[in-house]
Structure 1
Amino acid sequence: MLKSLYIKNYALIDSLEIDFEPGFSVITGETGAGKSIILGALSLILGQRADAKAIKQGESKCIIEGQFEISAYHLENFFAEREIDYDANCCMRRELLSSGKSRAFINDTPVTLTDLKELGSMLIDIHSQHQNLLLGDSRFQMQIVDALAGNRDLIRDYQLSFRQYREVQKALDELKEALKQSKEEEDYLRFQYEALKEAALTEGEQEELEAELETLNHAEDIKSALYKVYNLLADDEHGAVPSLKEVLNTTHPLSRIFTKAEEIIQRVETAYIDLKDLSAEVERLAGDVEFNPDRLSFIESRLDTIYTLQKKHNVSSVAELITLYQELSRKIEAIETSDEQLTVLEKELQQKTETMLALAKKLTASRKAIIPQFEKDLIAKAAYLGMPNIRFQCEVNALEQPNVCGTDDIVFQFSANKNVPLQPVANIASGGEISRIMLCLKSMIAGASALPTIIFDEIDTGVSGEIADKMGSIMKDMSKDMQVLAITHLPQIAAKGNAHYLVYKQDDDKTTTTHLRRLDDGERLKEVARMLSGSVLTDAAMENAKVMLGF
């Protein structure tokens, strides 16, 4: 249950801290006093979307914090799965910054809004006026029936199975489409593959061939130049190597009388050895260079094949052609093994479909089993709320294709008057009738779901007098098993609360602020009297209020 609420710098609220009681509590106040502001702040800690405009003007941050007693609701797994410290007194907090960013916390541990919303959905149900529109929504009607049937675990198992079924179905559809395209281009793929396979390309081949081609095309020039270099190095009369030999012969005797000549000898010997080796290498290279017309023809043909393949596939290297060859190999292999893949997926889809439909069948049986009692209870509750001639029927129709809720389509059929045929409830129910039906439904599912807290935001719209009194009795009866808060404009409902809170505004020269406080017995008497008579309290209104409150 909601134990307390703290709000700071939200909309027209400077700072507000209020404790709530178990049982049935009511919140009243003038129109525009700020009841919607209180609910707006509460919705933030339940994970709803935040708007930086909600921050009080002139402030940089607002804080909303709710304290909840959760010891009776077996939520330990929720905390353990998210590595959040569990405490029976749970604190949910939301901080909204003027930059538009927000932060969420559970027991001072930062969490995602998804986590905050999931926990909030297990703690509070806020029924606002716009939710009455949900009555005509088939998904909402399905949720009502599932809640009454206790299908929560079965729905979870079915939806997991349905997601798995859809994933396999999607994979199968994608494979079929890919295979269709592949089959259409298989001949072309094989043609490309065979051409590359026949080429038998190797990494670095192109660069080596291009270098060899350059050598063959200039063989005579290269050979002539190398022999000239050789002669310059090794010619007996003018070559560098014999000259260095003569330098050594001249320098060796000098070393006996000139010690520094030894360094010259060492350096010349090094140069002599290097140049002698170099001249031998140049002579060998010159001998190796020969013009080979057959080799030249082979290289030109081979390079022509490489260039043609590169142009055809719009690439610039042999490495890219090799990569393409490998990709084509994989595609062809996939085509060749596609029938096996198709068979595996089709078998898996069949298994997933059978599992999903078996769970859907259980859902259908569970829903149909609860419907007779559901119809009977709703008619009885609606009759108590001034609809004695109501007829109500919950139809279950089979869908052609399963969806996330199963294979059923549920339609609430309704008639409030005799001799008026049943029609979908949203088509014919008036505002007051919808309010009463929604209260009946909420009271029924509240008992089934064991939700800690429910808040009714003016669910009494369109009713008054005796019917309002009975609606208040239903809410009070609900509060035996859960915490119920009702925002109301009707004194008949306000008088039934165990605790009474007032929302009001205060103005000064600069600002308007919204406040919320619990009323004592004397203040409550005046508030109920005001709701009966208006701004001017009459003696009759005060007497009526005393009767309603049992004072």
Structure 2
Amino acid sequence: MLVNLSIQNYALIDTLNVSFTNGFTTITGETGAGKSILLGGLSLVLGKRADLTSLKDETKKCIIEAEFDISKYQLKRFFEANDLDYEVATILRREILPSGKSRAFVNDSPVTLDILKGLGERLVDVHSQHQTLRLTDNDFQLKVVDALAGNNTDLGQYKLQLDSYKKISRELQELIDFQSNSNKEHDYNSFLLQELESIPLKDGMQEDLEAESEQLNNVEQIMEQLAYGNQLLNDEQVGILGKLTDLKRTFQNLADFGSTYSVLNERIQSIFFEMDDIAAELEQVKDGVEANPQRLEVVNSKLQQLYDLQKKHQVGSVSELIIIKNQLEEQVNAVENIESKIRAKEVEVEQATNILEDWVLKIRKGRNTIIPKLKSKLQESLYSLGMPSATFKIEVNPSSTFKSNGKDDLVFLFSANKGSDYGELKKVASGGELSRIMLTIKSILAKYEQLPTMMFDEIDTGVSGEISNRMGEIMQQMSKTMQVFSITHLPQVASKGQQQFKVFKEEIDGTTTTQMRKLNQGERVKELAEMLGGKSISESAMAHAKQLLEL
């Protein structure tokens, strides 16, 4: 409930600070006194957008604070979801700076306007002429039916399943789109993959082939050098091995004459064995080297194939070709396996659809069950509000698509007079009739779900006498389970409030300001008498005012 409202530097308000209690509060005042200004200030702290015209003094900032007791509103999840400190006494604050910038706070934590609006909608339902038009909206009508049918839990489960269904359906569409787009490229990708698979790509193969090609291209020079090297090692007269044999024999004879000669001998022996091994391997290599034009042609062909592939794919190594080959394999395999994936996903969609349909039937059954009771309640209440012939035709028709609130279209038709054709509310109901219907619906809803603070802005426009008295009684009855405000110009409604506030203008130092104060009993009698008979208060008006207040 709204506990306190503080407004500074807004429109015609310099400073206003007012506290409220639970129950039914009425707000009155002359036309132009500023009742709409008060409502506008409250709307700002509930998340409405603002501009510099909101400032009374454009050199100072506007500050609006509203304190709420939120103990009964089950809002802890909202606070957790938006990383806010939950306090039973929660304060919403809105600041509009002279620069035009706006700031919003919840319990002193900065928040976005969307968060402030989301919280505000859970705390106060401001019923204005614009809000009355919601009555003609099919979603709002279904919300009323579902509240009475007790469908909220089932709708919660339905929405969870709907999210799952939409997710699976999106995945199926993505697979279908992928298939459609990929089929165009599949043949080309398959061709590229076959090209890359025509040669067994391995890291280092290009370097090996290039080395082999270099050897085969220079085989004669290699053979000449190997032959000359063999001659240097093995020539009988001047060969290195022959000379090393003599050197080895010489130092073998010196080895026994001390450690110095012994170490030199070991080193010479090692060199001899190494050179002997080199000579043997050189002989083997020399015998294995021969001209091989056929192999050279094969090697050069493989190299050219690699060079062509690298140029085609704009890369510079076999490693990069291997990466491209792997990617093409994934793309080709994905297309070739897409049919089975699509079939599997279609099965998932069908299963999700069946579960949704089960919830749809359950929700629809609840709606159809409650509609006769809703019609009866509406017609009974409207009878007492001066619409004795008002009747409704309410039907639930299955829709072809899943919606956020089920799979139904609601036919909500109205007739105000006997013999009149039924029609849509927005076409056949007058503004006064819509207001009375909305009040009736709100009063019915109040018995079935915890509504936020209700603020009625002249919902009694267009009615008078006994009907206005009955409207006041309805709001008074609603206030037994919730906080209700009514901005009204009718004394019959104003008198039903447990407390009454008056909005008025006064001139201070040549400046007009809007004020608001709670009326005591005597002031209420005078205010109601003025509402009944004007500024010249008669004794009969005073008597009537006391009668309305049951004094």
- Superposition TM-score, scaled by structure 2 size: 0.78
Letter of the 1:530 partner, please give it.
E
Q: CA deviation at 1:294?
A: 8.6
Q: CA deviation at 1:75?
A: 3.9
- Distance in 2 separating the partners of 1:300 and 1:510: 103
Q: Answer whether contact 2:213 2:296 (CA < 8 A) is retained.
A: no
Q: CA deviation at 1:199?
A: 4.9
Q: CA deviation at 1:181?
A: 2.6
Q: Answer whether contact 1:415 1:428 (CA < 8 A) is retained.
A: yes
Partner of 2:235: none
Partner of 1:415: 415
- Distance in 1 separating the partners of 2:177 and 2:60: 54
Q: SS of 2:515's equivalent? A: strand
Q: Identify which range, 352-361 or 54-63, moves more after superposition.
A: 54-63
1:338-366 deviations in whole A, cap 9, x for unaligned?
23322331222122112211111111111
Q: Answer whether contact 2:506 2:513 (CA < 8 A) is retained.
A: yes
Partner of 1:130: 130
2:525 matched to 1:525? yes
The percentage of aligned residue pairs carrying the same residue is 47
Q: SS of 1:448's equivalent? A: coil
Q: Answer whether contact 1:506 1:512 (CA < 8 A) is retained.
A: yes
1:293-372 correspondence to structure 2 within 5 Å: 304-306=304-306, 308-309=308-309, 312-313=312-313, 321-372=321-372
- Distance in 1 separating the partners of 2:209 and 2:479: 91
- Distance in 1 separating the partners of 2:40 and 2:463: 25
Partner of 1:462: 462
- Distance in 2 separating the partners of 1:61 and 1:199: 77
1:181-239 deviations in whole A, cap 9, x for unaligned?
32343222100111123355567888x699989999x99xxx9xxxxxxxxxxxxxxxx
Residues 461 and 316 of structure 1, relative CA distance in 2, 3 Å threshold:
farther
Q: Answer whether contact 2:451 2:482 (CA < 8 A) is retained.
A: yes
Q: Identify which range, 94-103 or 426-435, moves more after superposition.
A: 94-103
Q: SS of 1:94's equivalent? A: strand
Q: CA deviation at 1:368?
A: 1.3
Q: CA deviation at 1:54?
A: 3.0
Letter of the 1:437 partner, please give it.
I
Q: Answer whether contact 1:209 1:299 (CA < 8 A) is retained.
A: no
Partner of 1:191: 191
- Distance in 2 separating the partners of 1:43 and 1:211: 81
Partner of 2:12: 12
Letter of the 1:17 partner, please give it.
N
Partner of 1:481: 481
1:426-448 deviations in whole A, cap 9, x for unaligned?
22111111111111111111221
- Distance in 1 separating the partners of 2:321 and 2:52: 56
Residues 212 and 114 of structure 1, relative CA distance in 2, 3 Å threshold:
same
Letter of the 2:18 partner, please give it.
I
- Distance in 2 separating the partners of 1:440 and 1:209: 91
Q: Answer whether contact 1:209 1:303 (CA < 8 A) is retained.
A: no
Q: SS of 2:447's equivalent? A: helix
Letter of the 2:357 partner, please give it.
L
Partner of 1:440: 440
Q: CA deviation at 1:510?
A: 6.6
Partner of 1:389: 389
Unaligned regions of 5+ residues in structure 2, if any? 223-290
- Superposition TM-score, scaled by structure 1 size: 0.78
Partner of 1:263: none
- Distance in 1 separating the partners of 2:527 and 2:200: 95
- Distance in 1 separating the partners of 2:204 and 2:118: 60
Q: Identify which range, 97-106 or 394-403, moves more after superposition.
A: 97-106
RMSD value, Cα: 3.5
Q: CA deviation at 1:150?
A: 2.5
Partner of 1:250: none
- Distance in 2 separating the partners of 1:124 and 1:23: 14
Q: Answer whether contact 1:141 1:411 (CA < 8 A) is retained.
A: no
Q: Answer whether contact 1:9 1:59 (CA < 8 A) is retained.
A: no
- Distance in 2 separating the partners of 1:52 and 1:193: 66
- Distance in 1 separating the partners of 2:40 and 2:344: 52
Q: SS of 1:32's equivalent? A: coil
- Distance in 2 separating the partners of 1:293 and 1:103: 85
Q: SS of 1:47's equivalent? A: coil
Q: CA deviation at 1:116?
A: 3.6
Partner of 1:164: 164
- Distance in 2 separating the partners of 1:399 and 1:137: 16
Q: Identify which range, 514-523 or 291-300, moves more after superposition.
A: 291-300
Partner of 2:375: 375
Residues 182 and 497 of structure 1, relative CA distance in 2, 3 Å threshold:
same
Residues 515 and 321 of structure 1, relative CA distance in 2, 3 Å threshold:
farther
Residues 331 and 61 of structure 1, relative CA distance in 2, 3 Å threshold:
farther
Letter of the 2:106 partner, please give it.
I
Q: Answer whether contact 1:62 1:96 (CA < 8 A) is retained.
A: yes
- Distance in 1 separating the partners of 2:50 and 2:199: 64
- Distance in 1 separating the partners of 2:419 and 2:401: 35
- Distance in 1 separating the partners of 2:462 and 2:488: 12
- Distance in 2 separating the partners of 1:92 and 1:385: 37
- Distance in 2 separating the partners of 1:320 and 1:61: 64
Q: CA deviation at 1:314?
A: 5.8
Letter of the 1:504 partner, please give it.
F
Partner of 2:273: none
Q: CA deviation at 1:119?
A: 3.5
Residues 192 and 536 of structure 1, relative CA distance in 2, 3 Å threshold:
farther
